[in-house]
Each structure stands twice: as structure tokens, then as C-alpha cells.
Amino acid sequence: MSLGAHLRFLVTALLLAVAVGFAQPGEAQQVNPTADSVKEQQFLDALKANPSAELRGRVTIPDAKSATLERPAGREWRAFHQGTMTKVGAVAVLGTLIAVVAFYLFRGRIRLESGPSGQRLTRFNGFERFVHWLTAACFIVLALSGLNVTFGKSLLLPLVGPEAFTAVSTVAKWAHNYLAWPFMLGVALMFLVWIKDNIPGMVDIRWFLAGGGIVGKGHPAAKRFNGGQKALFWIVVVGGAALAVSGINLLFPAEAGGVLNLQFWNMLHGIVGVLMVATILGHIYIGTIGMEGAFDAMGSGEVDLNWAKAHHSLWVADEMRKGDVHGGKLQPAE
């Protein structure tokens, strides 16, 4: 190649380079650096389809849960806690109390029509009563400390002031956390001890159809546990299991797998809890002032033969045939 050809090539190359150099800034000005950047509005729009969505990213600190930038699902949980939970709780607890009082005024105490026979029969042995009262004592503390979380702010706080209320609530929280364990043990033992007497059958359906001796006259036949007691047994077992599973998750928040799970367990725990409180209020009523002779079963463990005949006719027939139950002989009262 001649010198002239070399020069022509060089000039052409320079011109090209200059042309490209001028062209580039012009193009750059038209680039929008945020054209495909993530915008908050996209996330909020996506939420309309899936309200429990979370906006997650990456963080450089070790706390992985802090990688969630926004989680508006808390709004639904707040609405539940401030609305549904309060309403269901108030209706369940107050409604049951009102129903029990109304029932007492209308029906009065269920008397033992035939009067005491003087003969007594062992209904619950010492271990059964221990299991019952272990569960019952724990449940009362758990119920009161649990209700305090939802209703204490509006009922107790104005009465005692913030410092005293925090002191009470702190003790209530400890009690709730620790007594949960003996309560779970109690429910598990009740399940094992009484499952054999709580398999539902035709006699229970007939018991319910006859009004259970609560409404109407006469006592329908029942085995060791009548239909109502079997229903209570299964409510306590299933409800207790639901409270246990949700409660354990709430007790170990770091292992529960995120705040959305905690919100779910919290809702389940609260609703099942107040329904159990309502059920047990009815149970306490019928076991104490609601029915003559009923408390003896869990008090001394021995019931009057006439009471047993009236309420658990088939069970008494069985016991008579066997002659004893749990080692306790049919014996005259002293």
C-alpha cells in the first residue's frame, strides 16, 4: 500500500470515530435509566390479586426476615384482631353467660326427682379426678390470661392504670406460657383415659333427639357418658389439640416460618380459645349449680345411685352386673 492509501485509510477511520463519538451522547440522552426499574406501584397492583403477597429483596445483614420490604397483610390481621376476634369473643363469652343465666331462671336447677338413695357408686377414680382438675385449673388461668390479651385493654386497663395493667399482663403471659404444658398433658391424658367411653353411637343420637333430659321431661338412656358429655369430650380433645399446635407455634416464633404463619396461628388460637371458654362455661354451670348431684362425680368421685340411674341408666346396669368399677364397690353411704 502506498503512503497516500495509508493516509486515506487513517482519515476515513478518524472521521468514522468522530462520527460515532458524536452519535453516542445523542443516543444516551434518550435512554431512561429507570425504564425497567421496579416500582412500588407494580407491587401494590399485584397485591390486589394476592393480598398476602410480600415484597422481598436481599439484605446484607444476617437477619433474613428483614429482607421483606413491605408486607401489607398485617392490615387484614389487624382488621381481624380489632374486629372479628373482639366480636366473636364477646358474643361467645357474654352470649353463653346470658344463656346460662336465662336457662337457670327459666328451667331452674335440675333436681334429682327420686331423692337420694343413700347408696353411692364410684364414678371417677382418683387418677381421673386428678387429670380433670389438672386440666381444669390450667384452663381457667389460660382462659383468663388469654381473654386479657384481647379484652384487658378495654376492660381492666382503665380500672387499674397502665403500670398495674402491664404488671398483671406480664404475669398473665408467663402463666399462659408455662401452664400451657400441664394443660396439654391433661388433655392428652383425658383423651387416653376416656376415649373408650366416648365413641359415639345410636344411643347418643336418641339422647340428643330426646332433648338430653335438659329440655322436656324424663331422662333418656345413657352409658357412662351421655351424648352431651361425649360432645364435650371431643370439643376438648379437638379444640385442645388445635390450641396446642397453634400455641406451640406462637411460643416459638422463630421456628414458625414467618409472620404470615404466625398471623394464621394467632387467629386460629384466638377463635378456638374463645369457643372453648364458651363451651366450658356451660360445662361449669351444669356441673355445679345447674344440676343437683352432678358435682359429686368430680368432687368426691362418688355419686348417688338414684342420680346415676336417672342420668346414666345403661352405665349403672353395667356396673350392677360387674358388681364393681375401678375397684370401688357399690356401698351404702355412711
Partner 1 sequence: MARMKFLCDADRCIECNACVTACKNENDVPWGINRRRVVTINDGKPGERSVSMACMHCTDAPCAAVCPVDCFYTTADAVVLHNKDLCIGCGYCFYACPFGAPQYPKVSNFGSRGKMDKCTYCSGGPEADLSPAEFQKYGSNRLAEGKLPLCAEMCSTKSLLAGDGEMIAQIYKERVVKRGYGSGAWGWQTAYRETIAI
Binding site for partner 1 (CB under 8 A): 32-41, 44, 55-61, 63, 65-75, 77-78, 81-82, 148-150, 152-153, 157, 162-163, 165-166, 169-170, 173-174, 177-178, 250-254, 259, 262-263, 266
Residue with smaller CB distance to partner 1, 277 or 316: 277
Contact partners, residue 292, CB within 8 Å, separation at least 6? 109, 110, 111, 112, 307
The least distance separating partner 1 from the CB of residue 85, rounded to whole angstroms, comes to 10
Residue with smaller CB distance to partner 1, 2 or 32: 32
User: Using an 8 Å Cβ cutoff, are 235 and 279 in contact?
Assistant: yes
Residue with smaller CB distance to partner 1, 3 or 254: 254
Residue with smaller CB distance to partner 1, 77 or 233: 77
The least distance separating partner 1 from the CB of residue 242, rounded to whole angstroms, comes to 19
Half-sphere exposure of 78 (CA within 13 A, CB side): 5
DSSP states along 152-181: HHHHTHHHH-HHHHHHHHHHHHHHHHHHHH
User: Using an 8 Å Cβ cutoff, are 274 and 92 in contact?
Assistant: yes
Q: How far is CA 250 from CA 67, 205, 247, 265, in A?
A: 21, 38, 5, 7
Choose among 143, 199, 201: nearest CA to 172. 143
Burial label for 241, CB within 10 Å (0-12, 13-18, 19+), is middle
The least distance separating partner 1 from the CB of residue 257, rounded to whole angstroms, comes to 14
Distance, CA of 113 to CA of 307 (rounded, Å): 9
CA angle, 156 then 161 then 162, to 5°: 100
The least distance separating partner 1 from the CB of residue 245, rounded to whole angstroms, comes to 16
Q: How far is CA 315 from the centre of its chain?
A: 33
Residue with smaller CB distance to partner 1, 67 or 325: 67
Residue with smaller CB distance to partner 1, 64 or 320: 64
User: Using an 8 Å Cβ cutoff, are 205 and 231 in contact?
Assistant: no
The least distance separating partner 1 from the CB of residue 149, rounded to whole angstroms, comes to 5
Residue with smaller CB distance to partner 1, 74 or 126: 74
The least distance separating partner 1 from the CB of residue 269, rounded to whole angstroms, comes to 12
